[in-house]
Amino acid sequence: MSEKTATLDLGETKVEFPVHKGTIGPDVVDIRKLYGQSGRFTYDPGFTSTASCESKLTYIDGEEGILLHRGYSIEDLAEDSSFMEVAYLLLNGELPTPDDYDDFTRTITLHTMVHEQLRELYRGFRRDAHPMAIMCGVVGSMSAFYHDSTDIKDPEQRTIASHRLIAKMPTIAAMAFKYAVGQPTLYPDNSLSYTGNFLKMTFGVPAEPYEVNPVVERALDRIFILHADHEQNASTSTVRLAGSSGANPFACIAAGIACLWGPAHGGANEAALNMLKEIGHPSAIPGYIERAKDKNDPFRLMGFGHRVYKNHDPRATVMRKTVREVLGSLGVDDPVFDVALELEEMALNDDYFIEKKLFPNVDFYSGIILSAIGFPTSMFTALFALARTVGWVAQWNEMIEDPDQRIGRPRQLYTGPVQREYLPLEKR
Ligand code: SDX
């Protein structure tokens, strides 16, 4: 069956474009020839209607609240899988066999240590440095330590760099936490799971044995699954754009970390918990909801709204269930959770939020669990970056292997001054 086409009638010229069909989801109008044939650009600030690439990794249906990783629903993966299995799935396209799984997790485990000199970098930061500032700097510096995995044209080196990034993020994040609290860092413990090792490096101390709490380990592993990948979000697009210039993988992931830090993106989990603490009590919620609706007030309900989800964020649903499990298991009665539940209830019944299709997103509840486990709010986005590294790395590899791949170079609508004569300083 011949491919569908779309015609753009510009008056003096008509341009016909091929329309490509995905396996599921919206068709795309391939406008690559538009400028060459019409001398015009499209205009789409924020890329609300723009597909930047073809991908087989993650599918989101914002209207139905569906999230699939290589065809598997986030609900099934959160319930039955592990973060390492999801990492294998995103990188390789299929769920691992038991042998594949053992080989993969063993490979990741053997890369968890960082170069001994890289540990010295932390001493250059102030103790009160935000962990994301440290993550940006330390991950970017990895290209100064792992020269044998920076040649992006060599598939072998791409694989080693991918494994190093996934394996070392927990070590780097735990060291950022230890540096902030002034405690000695712990080396990785290869006898533990990926997530159990992270918990021990974060909360363990050399003076005491550390027992991983299996409920906390499972809950955190599930949180990592929920954050693993999310189509072409801002930080993933940043990684792809940086990678399109041929930059080394460590620099690309550092760029993704920088973008994720923004409060409109991954920084929202820290902002959401701070907001819930500021609200403090259900009785204060109506005032904050009014502020969120007030155009003259820059306040927004952090952890609410999403560019793509206009029905519900399936990750928030899983996260809310996990909050109950963790708080119940740890015997934590956190009044902030009551504020969160009441705020969600009131906002979801408010015409403004209904009309604008604003629902709790993945960041709304995650902070409550992370806080109950013992993480300070400043570590929340670092944990998001730890988990999203799997998605960033998978998307980066897919971009490098894409035959359509070219350097990303958007154009603009120019509204600045036309050419004008320069007047020397003495004549102005
Ligand atoms: C993540 O893209 C991804 O997939 C991201 C992510 C991932 O996994 O990678 O899912 C992770 O970043 C989740 C989002 C976390 N951010 C927040 O929770 C911050 C609060 N939310 C927003 O700032 C906002 O909703 C965004 C940034 C998430 C989405 O922004 P959009 O799509 O550009 O929507 P918008 O800012 O144009 O808002 C549309 C309308 C506006 O009102 P009008 O100008 O049309 O009158 O809704 C209003 C906004 O004022 N609005 C809110 C609101 N979010 C949007 N009003 C109050 N509170 C909010 N949270």
- pLDDT per residue as tens digits for the range 86-129: 999 999 999 999 999 999 999 999 999 999 999 999 999 999 99
Whether 278 has a pLDDT exceeding 60, the answer reads yes
Measured in residues, the chain has a length of: 428
Answer for the pair 393, 253: CB distance below 8 angstroms, yes or no.
Answer: yes
List 18's β-bridge partners, or say none. 5
Which atom of ligand 1 is found nearest the CA of 305? 25
Q: Pocket of ligand 1, candidates 261, 276, 307, 388: which has the most ligand atoms within 8 Å of its Cβ, to mutate? A: 307
Kindly list the distances between the CA atom of residue 2 and the CA atoms of 25, 184, 314, in Å, as whole numbers in the listed order: 19, 65, 36
Q: What is the DSSP string of 10-43?
A: -SS-EEEEEEE--SSS--EE--TTHHHHHS----
- pLDDT per residue as tens digits for the range 44-62: 999 999 999 999 999 999 9
For ligand 1, atom 27: residue with the closest CA: 264
CB of 230 within 6 A of ligand 1: the answer is yes
CB of 310 within 6 A of ligand 1: the answer is no
Other beta carbons less than 10 A from residue 64's beta carbon: 12
CB of 353 within 6 A of ligand 1: the answer is no
**Backbone phi, then psi, for 248, in 5-degree steps?**
-70, 155
Distance of CA 233 from the midpoint of ligand 1 (Å) = 12
For ligand 1, atom 2: residue with the closest CA: 233
Per-residue confidence band for 185, with pLDDT thresholds at 50, 70 and 90: very high
Tell me if residue 20 is catalytic: no
Whether 306 has a pLDDT exceeding 80, the answer reads yes
Q: What is the mean pLDDT of the chain?
A: 95
CB of 304 within 6 A of ligand 1: the answer is yes
Of the candidates 316, 323, 317, the residue with the CA atom closest to the CA atom of residue 361: 316
Running DSSP on this structure, what letter comes out for residue 96? P
Of the candidates 307, 392, 402, 411, the residue with the CA atom closest to the CA atom of residue 53: 402
> pLDDT above 90 covers what percent of the chain?
92
- pLDDT per residue as tens digits for the range 311-359: 899 999 999 999 988 999 899 888 898 999 999 999 989 999 999 999 9
In angstroms, the CA 349 to CA 207 distance is 51
Per-residue confidence band for 2, with pLDDT thresholds at 50, 70 and 90: low
Environment class of 260 (CB within 10 Å of its CB; exposed 0-12, middle 13-18, buried 19+): buried
- Quick one: pLDDT at residue 150? 87
Whether 1 has a pLDDT exceeding 60, the answer reads no
In angstroms, the CA 410 to CA 422 distance is 29
Q: Tokens for 345?
A: 């209830």
List the alpha helices (DSSP H) in 81-154: 83-92, 98-109, 131-141
Which position has the token pair 């044995």? 209
Tell me if residue 363 is catalytic: yes
Distance of CA 299 from the midpoint of ligand 1 (Å) = 12
In angstroms, the CA 98 to CA 261 distance is 36
- Quick one: pLDDT at residue 78? 97
CB of 367 within 6 A of ligand 1: the answer is no
| Residue type at 304 in one-letter notation | F
In angstroms, the CA 212 to CA 254 distance is 30
- pLDDT per residue as tens digits for the range 370-415: 999 999 999 999 999 999 999 999 999 999 999 988 999 999 999 9
